[in-house]
Amino acid sequence: MLQCLIIDDEPLAQELIAKYVQQSGRLELVKKCANALQAFAILEKQPIDLLFLDISMPVINGIDFIRSLPNPSAVIFTTAFSEYAADSYELDALDYLVKPITYERFSKSIDKYFKQNSKPDDEKKYLYIKVNGRLQKVIYTDILYAESMRDYMKIVTVKENYITHLTMKALVELLPSDLFVRVHRSFIVHTAFITSVGRKEISINEFKIPVGDNYKINLKQWSKL
């Protein structure tokens, strides 16, 4: 997942962006920082992919903070002041969000990041999920199937099983549609591992996976590929 940092001296603004980060299903929030000095300390210890950065902050404002970094991360400015937009473009900011920020506008910024930084060969090989507080790399070709358990997903691979805090909707968006098919409201499977298909269930090795009535069309479409 994309590692991100929120830098804003307003607690309510921090919480809103943090909520959007979690809702997106594609981002991992490393830390919420109240000022640039706190952010400096984190950036010295670990790489960060994306900064959500307020401009008007005490001691060091967001513009000066970015200018001080030798190799700055991608940045999305989050501010109540539209007059700084020109400065943000000079700094090659990914986007400029004016408060109050809606989730729709936030989501467009994230889509923009992935479009600009997409690597097709890499995207088809693996994803990252959070397991026991740590990021776990999972190869697509190792995944047999995934089962929804409310707000969690059980991902069954050829080597071991993982439980991660993720919704089915978010996982479907992460997995390539040419490799995986949803066969039930609670199950998505890797088509390469399907060994048999019945009216009400499919087999993946020794596992029996139920097929929902509303998802049979997915299997029909897959079998015609």
What the chain holds in terms of domains, given with CATH numbers, is 2-118 (3.40.50.2300), 133-223 (2.40.50.1020)
Structural contact between residues 129 and 166, judged by C-beta atoms closer than 8 angstroms: yes
For every one of its 225 residues, what pLDDT tens digit does the chain have, with 9 covering 90 and above? 789 999 999 999 999 999 999 888 889 999 999 999 999 999 988 889 999 999 988 889 998 999 898 888 899 999 887 766 666 667 788 899 999 999 999 999 998 888 887 655 444 588 889 898 888 889 999 999 999 998 899 999 998 999 999 999 989 988 988 889 999 999 999 998 998 888 899 999 889 999 999 888 888 766 654
d(CA 94, CA 42): 21
* Cβ partners under 8 Å of residue 15, min gap 6: none
